[in-house]
Chain A
Amino acid sequence: MPRNQNKTIDKLFELLDQLGAENTTTLTSVRLPTKLRDALKLGVELGMDESITTAAVQAAHLRLEAFAQRLALESHYERHPNLRPTLARLAQVAAELDDNPIAHQPSLVKRAASEVVSLKPDADADDVLIYAAGLRSAARQAS
């Protein structure tokens, strides 16, 4: 990774880590699609968030945190390629974390992981679990 990009990433994490510790805000002009602004206004009225600003800030914060974490994970795997989990393992772990009964059928989860990618090459662990549920349902109907 280029050195200046590493510096940018360092700065990104520095700012995210400092976010909770400070209350200073900056007035920023953001051009929103009109329909989105109107929908946000209604969402706030219905109790989604305290204000449009809060809704927008929280959404941006969540996206940035996930993005920054992704960068850190990919950087970690660049240094340690053997640590990158397989799709099957991620699906199994997701099932266990969710208390999903399919976690007790690891061979089904493994089969789902290998098959689902032919339908959806960028399938993630949740896609695998839905596919596995389909396989289980089909097996029950057949028996």
Chain B
Amino acid sequence: MASPPAAFVLDNEAVQAALDEHHPKHQALLEIIEVQNMRAAKGHRAVVVVPVAARIEAGWDRTDPKTANASRVTRAKDHTLDTTAANEATALRRKPDVQVVDATVAQAAMAAPKPVVIVTSDTKHMKKLAAQITGEVRVKRI
């Protein structure tokens, strides 16, 4: 049965799209944020998180005033890596072809309330990772 997501996890490409209005995926990212905002206004809370490794890879320095708009529009919160999270991400990375940042994206999805949507351009790899996570994990291409 269809149900609204409880969380969104942004990967590196989604973060880049958020930072740059000229990025080819910027509008696609906005559409997702608009749906999230529409439902939040009606009382349905869905967190938007960005794994810190994805933020670093995308070059999002939150102290840079030029990135303030991305923060305001997405309301994305950092998902940090403590010891447990790092262990989980490491375990995910043991599978073939899993990059460090992708493992942290999957770990963030693991920690997030469900259903969770991973927002990514790399749906093939993310779907493989999502299959290892308990709970409903959806992968949305941008």
Residue total for B at the interface (Cβ-Cβ under 8 A):
33
A85–B35 CA distance with the chains assembled, in angstroms: 10
Interface residue from B4, B71, B73, B77 paired with A98 (Cβ < 8 Å): B4
Tell me the minimal C-beta distance from A64 to chain B in angstroms.
10
Whether A83 lies near B138 (C-beta < 8 A) is no
Number of A interface residues in the complex (CB < 8 A): 33
Q: Is the CB of A99 within 8 A of B2?
A: yes
Q: Mark A103-143, 1 if CB is under 8 A from B, else 0.
A: 00000000000000000000011100000000000000000
Stretch of B25-33, B53-61, B103-111 on the interface side: B25-33
A74-92 contacts to B (CB < 8 Å): 76, 80, 83, 85, 89-90
Q: Which residue of B lies closest to A80 (CB)?
A: B21
Pair B31/A90 contact, Cβ less than 8 Å = yes
**Cross-chain contact of B30 among A65, A83, A97 (Cβ < 8 A):** A83
Whether A62 sits at the interface, judged by CB under 8 Å, is yes
Tell me if A22 is interfacial: C-beta within 8 Å of chain B: no
Please state if A98 and B5 are interface contacts (CB–CB under 8 Å).
Answer: yes
Q: Tell me whether chain B's interface is mostly helix, strand or loop, or mixed.
A: helix
Residue of B4, B30, B115, B140 with most partner-chain A CB within 10 A? B30
Q: Is the CB of B77 within 8 A of A20?
A: yes
**CB-nearest residue of chain A relative to B2?**
A100
Query: Does A42 lie at the interface of the complex (its beta carbon under 8 Å from any beta carbon of B)?
Result: no
Contact A125 B35 (CB under 8 A): yes
Question: Are B27's CB and A68's CB within 8 A?
Answer: no
Bound CA span A45–B78, Å: 33
**B-chain residues with CB within 8 Å of residue A66 when the two chains form the complex:** 37, 40-41
Given A97-B5, A99-B138, A73 contacting B71 (CB threshold 8 A): no
Do B38 and A124 have beta carbons less than 8 Å apart?
yes
For residue B50, CB closer than 8 A to chain A, the reply is no
A85 touches B27 (CB 8 A): yes
Binding site for B on A (CB under 8 A): 13, 17, 20, 62-63, 65-73, 76, 80, 83, 85, 89-90, 93-102, 124-126
